[in-house]
Amino acid sequence: MYEGKFYRVLHPRPTLVIVSKCPNGRLNLMPASWNTPVSEEPPTVAVAVEKSSYTYECLKHHRYATLNVLPIEAADLIYKLGSVSGRNVDKATEFGVKFENSEKIDVPRVAGAIAGYETEVYKEVEVGEVALYIFHVLYTWVAPGVADQWGFDFRRVNIPLHGAGRAFYRVDPRPVFAKR
């Protein structure tokens, strides 16, 4: 029997940074590697958010958020964002995060992100210690030249895949196409 935490063999996982609007008027940022696309119609993405987290409180307050994909070069920032609570620290100020206006919602996206989603909470499902937020994707944006029909072009850009703790991994830039 595997002795580690059951979910570790499902890692590494792509890491998103959720930007949410909080009751105190600040923006909060939370890294989330427990995420997945759910449906094409309606376009939805699910993210597990711990119910004790400040992000959970912020999403209860304001039902819009951006889900940001940062480049691998932002691994240090992503780790720092996940190491403190937005209840105690204004993460944007503390870590010098800059924002850009979104197209459809009033929550900004992270400047320098290589892709992301503007979303509205579609459903929330409580599962144990987390709420599985299913976000309706209202708008998708991608930085020019970083993606093609297969997704990210890993010869041009790389994304942080979270392992555990401070461990992040890169994607091998050479695709392997299955035989027909």
Do 12 and 162 touch, CB atoms closer than 8 A? yes
Instruction: Write the CATH number of the domain with boundaries 6-169.
Output: 2.30.110.10
Banded model confidence at residue 82, pLDDT cuts 50, 70, 90 = very high
- Give residue limits of the domains in the chain: 6-169
The b/e string for 8-25 (b: 16+ C-beta within 10 A; e otherwise) is eeeebbebbbbbbbbeee
pLDDT for 109-155, tens place per residue?
A: 999 999 999 999 999 999 999 999 999 999 999 999 999 888 999 99
Section 45-55 average pLDDT? 98
pTM for this model (two decimals): 0.94
